[in-house]
A and B are shown apart, each in its own frame.
Chain A
Amino acid sequence: MVKFLKPNKAVIVLNGRFAGRKAVIIRAFDEGTRDRPYGHCLVAGISKYPKKVIRKDSAKKTAKKSRVKAFIKLVNYNHIMPTRYTLDVDLKDVVTPDCLASRDKKVTAAKATKAKLEERFKTGKNRWFFTKLRF
């Protein structure tokens, strides 16, 4: 009886190109919109996870391995699996529904998301979110 598909909820995308990737809900549209008359949400997720960094790595290698590639997507509720985790990243102003309108906007939004996610990864918090789901 508690609504759990809320912003900052970590979810796993189940279908599509990003199946198996972890994402975070930015905005939830429970009622749907005219274009999408079903419950869906705007998620920002990790398209390429950061690789495992070992002690031996030089600074350059660490920087390269810690890169994250992000994606932004509108996903149907049926195609995500919510988890008990949350990710407190402030992506509300970066990722908006109209940034999916054109390709340029999408790319800039994805780059901004990538920067925020990388910064979060480097602090070492939310480790679950940045580990690849093995299946």
Chain B
Amino acid sequence: MVAGKKTKKTHESINNRLALVMKSGKYTLGYKTVLESLRSSKGKLIIISNNCPPLRKSEIEYYAMLAKVGVHHYNGSKFTRIYPCYFYMKCWLNCYHLMILPCVFVLLTVRN
């Protein structure tokens, strides 16, 4: 998996695009909503953190393959501060602690 060897540069650019989407687009977080948006063919990109359990990761990848949606393996665990989302992390933080799920973002619209 090339994800481990991501250079700093591409890392930043993903973050930049994330920042854009968080501000101006739609997204959902969490396993259940990801599946819902995949089934209703609303999702355009899925970001999976690297501490996602492998079975769940494979499942999401399979759904994404059926839906022809891109999957991005984020080089960081759900606990890494994703800078553009920091503001949102504050309100989603509770959800993570309660759900104990790895964070799986679905970006519903990506402007660029």
Contacts and interface: CB of A to CB of B under 8 A. Distances in A.
Contacts of B36: 39
A39 B36 CA distance: 9
Interface stretch (B64-72, B75-83, B87-95): B64-72
Q: Chain B interface mostly helix, strand, loop or mixed?
A: helix
Nearest to A30: B40
Contact of A4 (B35, B44, B66): B66
Interface in B43-74: 43-44, 59, 63, 65-69
B40 A82 contact: no
Contacts of A2: 41, 66-68
Contacts of A4: 39, 41, 66-67
A1 B40 contact: no
A39 B38 CA distance: 12
Given A1-B44, A82-B63, A77 B69 contact: no
Contact of A5 (B39, B44, B59, B68): B39
Q: Chain A at the B interface: mostly helix, strand, loop or mixed?
A: loop
Contacts of B69: 1
A108 interface: no
Contacts of A82: 63, 66
B108 to A, nearest CB: 11
Contacts of B59: 81
A103 interface: no
B41 A77 contact: no
Interface of B: 35-36, 39-41, 43-44, 59, 63, 65-69
Interface of A: 1-5, 30, 39, 77-78, 81-82, 84
